[in-house]
Structure 1
Amino acid sequence: MADDDEINLDEGGAGSAPEKKRGIGGLLSGLLKWIIIGLAAIIVIVVVVVVTVKITSKNSTQVTAIPTSEEYVSGQREIYDWYTSLGIIQTTTCDDPPATVRVDVALAYKKDDKATSTEITQRTVELKAFLRRYFSGKTAAELRNTNNEDALENEIKNGINDKILSSSRIRDVVFQQKDVIEQN
């Protein structure tokens, strides 16, 4: 019996390779191993992304407010007060023969701005003279063209703000009446 306890090398005893695991146990352990590796990879990736985002957000300046114009905040145009007391300005154009121009100009300024209203009232004579000179320097064709009206109003607004008003600004100019009368 002692001989039976001996290891038989010819029949695949201790010297032979161990048998591979077979069945559900082997498949389950292999699948579990790959699931753990996948979860570990996902955790490492998430940690790296979170740390990177925190580091980059600390070093960059955040924009807390975007400056916007009052006109765009409410989605509507600003409401103005209008100065309409200039009356009708009548002059002739620089054409040969000259045409007669009659305009009634309204000036817009910020609502409830008493300083601008006062300055416009004090400079009424200068405003009328400026408008008379402005229209005298234009041709009848320039003044009659309706597509040119916005450019004319903008030139007048800039001229008044730059040359006449000192402490205040007008916001808009509108022609309440604009007649160009050519002589035959």
Structure 2
Amino acid sequence: MADNDLMDDDDIQENMTSSVDTKKRGAGLIPMLIKWVAIVLVALIFIVTVVVITMNIRDKRGSSHSISPVSEEYRETRDVLQWYQAIGILKVHTADRIPATLIVDVALGYTNNDKSTPQELSARKVEIIDFLRSYFKSKTTAELRQEEKIKIEIKHEINDNVLTKNKIKDVRFTQYDIVEQ
């Protein structure tokens, strides 16, 4: 019984070696992990550097190669329009708390050589002026500063709600002044 309790030197040496081996295996995991993280970081830095250098070289030399001239047959052609300008200059106060004054001269564009559109525009001149006055009165100064949006809205409203037989193609302002007080 006493023999079982006693360990000889070989058994003690074996136990110490096995516990040291497990410690070495566990301790080796962290340095290996750090080594792989370092390898991945170096590879990532290398890839980013190559991409940045390549993009800089391409931007310096590639601009003349990447832009091709546009052929005239592919250019957008705009129709030549006739302009209805009999509306005159409108002076309207805006819908702001402290109203500003809008001074506007509207020109309505229609297809060249079109005979019926100017006749309908002349016949509906009073309706167009009334629409424009109420339209501009309902807008604030901030809204009126968006000229392109205003032109599109006016064109659609006149085509949908004022004209019956014909359509205007464009709206331009020959004068468009917002006078704030």
Q: TM-score, normalised by structure 1?
A: 0.57
SS in 2 for 1:138: coil
Deviation at 1:141, TM superposition (A): 1.7
2:112: which partner in 1? 111
Moved over 6 A (4+): none
SS in 2 for 1:150: helix
SS in 1 for 2:173: strand
> Root-mean-square deviation (CA), in Å?
1.6
Measure, in 2, the Cα distance between the counterparts of 1:142 and 1:75: 30
Deviation at 1:120, TM superposition (A): 0.1
The structure number with the bigger radius of gyration is: 1
Measure, in 1, the Cα distance between the counterparts of 2:117 and 2:74: 24
Measure, in 1, the Cα distance between the counterparts of 2:75 and 2:112: 16
Deviation at 1:75, TM superposition (A): 4.6
State the AA in 1 paired with 2:151: E
Q: TM-score, normalised by structure 2?
A: 0.58
More helix by share: 2
2:158: which partner in 1? 160
State the AA in 2 paired with 1:105: V
Measure, in 2, the Cα distance between the counterparts of 1:132 and 1:99: 14
SS in 2 for 1:105: strand
Deviation at 1:113, TM superposition (A): 0.8
Measure, in 1, the Cα distance between the counterparts of 2:75 and 2:114: 20
State the AA in 1 paired with 2:133: R
2:135: which partner in 1? 134
Deviation readout 1:23-49 (Å, 9 max, x if unpaired): xxxxxxxxxxxxxxxxxxxxxxxxxxx
Identity of paired residues, percent? 45
Give the number of equivalent residue pairs. Answer: 109
Deviation at 1:73, TM superposition (A): 8.3
Question: Unaligned regions of 5+ residues in structure 1, if any?
Answer: 1-71
Question: Unaligned regions of 5+ residues in structure 2, if any?
Answer: 1-72
